[in-house]
Amino acid sequence: MSMGRFLLRRILQGVFVIWGVVTVVFLLRFVTPGDPITFIAPLDAGPQVRENIARELGLHKPLYVQYFEYLVGLVQGDMGYSYIQGTAARSRIFNRLPATLELAIAASIVAIVISIPLGVVSATRRHDPADYAATTFSLVGISTPNFWLGIMLVLVLAVGLGLFPTSRRAIGFLPGTYFTALITRLTRSGMLDELGKTYVRASRAKGLPETLVRYKHVLRNTLIPVVTVLGLQMGTLIGGAVITEAVFNWPGLGTLVIEAINDRDWVLIQGSLVVIGAGFVIVNILVDATYAYINPQVRAE
């Protein structure tokens, strides 16, 4: 299969998954307890007032009509209007999106730049102080809640030293601590496995320089499973961004979701969950494209 056809198939699958995401998010309103109107209507509202609110928000229509209208709206880029503020959900979501994106992108860059080289160093210098440092770092990294790490940073920097980490970039690594540590561990164990294989011994026996063996053949084979996990675990980065926003009170998509849930502002809840889900699917398609590039076997399947 050519790269183009592979991508096309993957994108079609992605569209299907996004449709699933939209459907699940839409149905969430009907399976969760509590009527949205009760949340919006004044406490003493009579049936007439409630009826009017339902009409105004389009909630009186049958389920399938609402669903269909929501889908049509989404395709046209219309996410509806916030129940509480009455503003367009799209503009509120896309106002908050850049902050979260910046955080998630910064975190993933830091994560990948640190984790893969660290894993390689750790595997190639086994039982060296560098290896012990890297394994300790990655063990603590997958075991520490990043919101707590953020608070400890504030404690040390702001309270202890009088410095204020106000820039999003300065602590951009925070959402990705779990991710970084996980990828470091995977790279290390994957590389150790590969280094023990016969083709490595054969290439060495053939007289290939060690750097070529390690960084061309072994690393490439190591990266194949690592990239798979990278795609699957991207979610921890977004989750990390959400909670980092909460720790530092930054207005991002994560804090918006939490506000919307507490307000039961369904239009906003649906919109932001759809954007997060769709973003995640797109990222995964990009990861798969990278995957297919380094491992032509996948395209053949």
Partner 1 sequence: MIWELLSTIFGPVWKLLRGGVSPRTVRNLRKEFRNSLLAKIGVALVVAAILVAAFAPLLAPHDPTNQNLDKSNLPPIGFSKETTETSSEMVNGSIEVVNETVFVEADPAHPLGTDSLGRDMLSRVIYGARTSLLVGLFGTAIAAIAGVTVGLVAGYYGGKVDDALMRSADVMLAFPSLVLAVALVGLFGKAAVRVPDPLVAIGIEPGMPASFALPGTVILVVGLVNWVWFARVARGEALSIEGEEYVKAARSVGADDGFILRKHVLPNSVTPILVLATIQIAAIILLESALSFLGFSGTTLSWGFDIAQGRGYLASSWWISTVPGVAIVLTVIGINLVGDWLRDALDPGIEGEGGGP
* Segment lying near partner 1 (by CB under 8 A), choices 113-121, 183-191, 202-210, 285-293: 183-191
Q: Is 147 in the site for partner 1 (CB under 8 A)?
A: yes
Query: Is the CB of 52 or the CB of 280 nearer to partner 1?
Result: 280
Show the binding pattern over residues 8-37: x = contacts partner 1 (CB under 8 A), - = does not. -----x--xxx-xx--x---x---xxx---
Closest CB 76 distance from partner 1, rounded Å: 22
Helix, strand or coil, per DSSP, at residue 81:
strand
3's tokens: 């790269």
> Closer to partner 1 at the Cβ: 66 or 228?
228
Burial 170-204, CB ≥16 within 10 A → b, else e? ebbbbbbbbbbbbbbbbbbebbbebbeeeebeebe
Please list every residue from 60 through 79 that binds partner 1, using CB under 8 A. Answer: none
Do the Cβ atoms of 8 and 282 come closer than 8 Å? no
Tokens coding 259: 């506000």
Interacting residue with partner 1 among 103, 114, 134, 186 (CB under 8 A): 186
Between vectors from CA 54 to CA 53 and to CA 57, what angle results, nearest 5°? 85
Closest alpha carbon to 192 in 120, 246, 293: 120
Q: Is 149 helix (H, G, I), strand (E, B) or coil?
A: helix
Grouping H, G, I as helix, E, B as strand and the rest as coil, residue 50 is helix
For 56, what's the count of Cα atoms within 13 Å in the CB-facing half-sphere?
A: 15
Q: At what angle do helices 219-248 and 89-124 cross, to 10 degrees?
A: 130
Q: Does the footprint of partner 1 cover residue 108 (CB under 8 A)?
A: no
Closest listed residue to residue 175, CA positions, set 100, 93, 96: 100
In single-letter form, the type of residue at position 296 comes to P
Q: Which of 148, 164, 215, 293 binds partner 1 (CB under 8 A)?
A: 148
Q: How far is the CB of 211 from partner 1 (least distance, A)?
A: 25
Assess 139 for contact with partner 1 (CB under 8 A): yes
Q: Choose one: 69-77, 106-114, 199-207, 220-228; the region binding partner 1 (CB under 8 A).
A: 220-228
- x-marked contacts with partner 1 along 238-277 as a string, rule CB under 8 A: xxx-xx--xx------x--xx--xx-x----x---x--xx
Binding residues for partner 1, per CB under 8 A? 13, 16-18, 20-21, 24, 28, 32-34, 139-140, 142-145, 147-148, 151-152, 154-155, 158-159, 178-179, 182, 186, 189-190, 225-226, 228-229, 232-240, 242-243, 246-247, 254, 257-258, 261-262, 264, 269, 273, 276-278, 280-281, 284
